[in-house]
Amino acid sequence: MKKIYSFILLVVIIILFFRDCSIKKKEINIISNPNSLDVLVNKFNKLNSEYIPSDLILMPLKNSNKDKYLRKEAADNFIKLSNDASLLNYKIIIASAYRSYEYQTNLYDDYKEKYDFKYTSSCCAQAGFSEHQTGLAIDVMGSNNDYHKFDESQEFNWMINNCYKYGFILRYPKGKEKITGFKYEPWHYRYVGVKLAIFLHQKNITLEEYHKKKEIK
């Protein structure tokens, strides 16, 4: 009986080993269109370490924490979003925006020191694989002043129901973790342009699913 159990265990180990190898061998694509508004940056699509958007602008303190930068089109549209929300007595400001390759390297290393690999991989991208380097991604917070608990703020429902009108999408939605490769992040939004944001909202699909459809076509 023990031999049977040992054999079954060996088979399971072999299957898991080859499955992990196939995952690790998935080709990493070096992004050739980093300036595109619909650029896909994830665990299999990497930005060059030297890439820095040429049109970054400093965000006003009215709409952001100190020293946060975004690409101009994304910045202009977020300012409109934040100001419109303010008219309704909502507070939606940026807690994190553009991050350099070097910044993301240090952030990922900090996560590795504090958490295990599985958790780190689910919520912190390695340098080059982070959307924040595009200058199009933002982490926002509301009136509860805690971006990790943005979905508990009074602003969250308004943001979810209106962000696409300004060109932003919830980048890592609940239930899509296996598609995006990241856990649900109610605070992380991505600028893709108004037209595409409306399309993604109407179809209820992620950026990964959109690019998959483009490949098929």
Catalytic residues: 185
Which residues are registered as beta bridge partners of 216?
A: none
Which two structure tokens, joined as six digits, stand for 139? 């982490």
Indicate the SS3 state at residue 137.
strand
Which residues are registered as beta bridge partners of 46?
A: 30
Q: Answer yes or no: are the C-beta atoms of 124 and 111 closer than 8 Å.
A: yes
C-alpha to C-alpha distances, 129 to 25, 99, 215, nearest whole angstrom: 16, 11, 20
Residues 6+ apart with CB under 8 A from 40: 31, 207, 208, 211
Q: Answer yes or no: are the C-beta atoms of 171 and 185 closer than 8 Å.
A: yes
Question: No. of H helices and E strands in the chain?
Answer: 8, 8
Cα separation, 105 vs 151, whole angstroms = 28
Indicate the SS3 state at residue 76.
helix
